[in-house]
């Protein structure tokens, strides 16, 4: 495994690499969820590239950026273990040699849920992901479905910019108690960590009622279950169409998903679950 901090060095190395290039962009603080992306990338490609970069343009809260966990040595050890070939660990100046002033039109996908709660966040995601895809030039890039809205927006952006890359979504990886793996989980207090699996329990109970009870009733059931813990504060529970991310009012056979954002003390957790109504 080789590690590069400059895009010019990575590009030179990849220019001599043979076969299909797979890419997993990350912000570090890696866990088993990231490892699952890299393993899939390894299984489906000849060359595996992973980036580690905490992108400042997608943080609308400076404190969140400052507190985001950074564990480079442990990250590199994990990546070598799961089969990465190339790791790109750029500085901000290497990604953005000039300020990135681009403003993206995501067709409204960025105006709901996370976009409504975190203004400017997805524009920053568009900036960094488009830069990384241009630098690495992969055939395939892998993203986790935990950030489902982000995945939808990246797919939209790739089509809009006509970038020659296939975007693959990979299933959420969970702890034994159901909590979706996240780099932010390590920042939870023991009390909030103990309460957090209630999010998964609420999603499961709600999804089991899909098609049997009205949409708003199911949404309320999920919200109330999570809010039953005084340690968890619900920001939103949205039941949406997978393609448009618009909230539905009636059950449909189209692919659907329930998406939630919850505050556990100072830490903000997101999760989602697929809904299939037959």
Q: What is the pTM of this model?
A: 0.95
What pLDDT is stored for residue 67 in this prediction?
A: 85
What pLDDT is stored for residue 277 in this prediction?
A: 87
For the chain, which residues score pLDDT lower than 50? Answer: none
Whether 31 sits among the annotated catalytic residues: the reply is no
Taken in order 267, 151, 235, 227, the sign of the CA dihedral is negative
Residue 200, CB-side half-sphere exposure with 13 Å CA sphere: 16
Structural domains of the chain ordered from first start: 2-170 (3.40.50.620), 183-272 (3.30.1300.10)
Q: Among candidates 185, 196, 206, 177, which has minimal Cα distance to 274?
A: 206
Range 192-212 burial, b when 16+ CB lie within 10 A, else e? bbebbbbbbebbeebbeebbe
* Residue pLDDT, tens place only, 127-141: 999 999 999 999 999
Catalytic residue, chosen from 31, 34, 121, 192, is: 34
């Amino acid at each position: 495994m080789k590690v590069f901090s400059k895009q010019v060095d990575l590009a030179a190395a990849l220019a001599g690499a043979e076969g299909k290039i797979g890419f997993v962009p990350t912000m570090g603080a890696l866990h088993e969820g990231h490892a699952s992306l890299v393993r899939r990338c390894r299984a489906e490609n000849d060359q595996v590239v992973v980036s580690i970069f905490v992108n400042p343009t997608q943080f609308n809260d400076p404190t969140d950026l400052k507190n985001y966990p950074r564990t480079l040595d442990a990250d590199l050890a994990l990546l070598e273990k799961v089969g990465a070939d190339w790791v790109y660990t750029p500085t901000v100046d290497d990604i953005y040699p000039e300020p990135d002033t681009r403003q993206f039109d995501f067709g409204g996908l960025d105006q709901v849920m996370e976009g409504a709660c975190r203004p400017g966040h997805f524009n920053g995601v568009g900036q960094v992901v488009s830069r990384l895809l241009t630098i690495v030039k992969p055939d395939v890039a892998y993203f986790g479905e935990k950030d489902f809205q982000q995945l939808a927006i990246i797919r939209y952006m790739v089509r809009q910019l006509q970038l020659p890359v296939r975007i693959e979504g990979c299933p959420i990886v969970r702890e034994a108690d159901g909590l979706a793996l996240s780099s932010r989980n390590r920042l939870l207090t023991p009390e909030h960590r103990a309460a957090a699996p209630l999010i998964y329990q609420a999603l499961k109970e709600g999804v089991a009622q899909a098609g049997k009870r009205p949409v708003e009733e199911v949404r309320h059931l999920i919200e109330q279950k999570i809010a039953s813990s005084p340690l968890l504060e619900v920001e939103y529970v949205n039941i949406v169409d997978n393609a448009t991310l618009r909230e539905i009012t009636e059950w449909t056979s189209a692919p659907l998903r329930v998406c939630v954002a919850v505050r556990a003390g100072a830490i903000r957790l997101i999760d989602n679950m697929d809904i299939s109504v037959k």
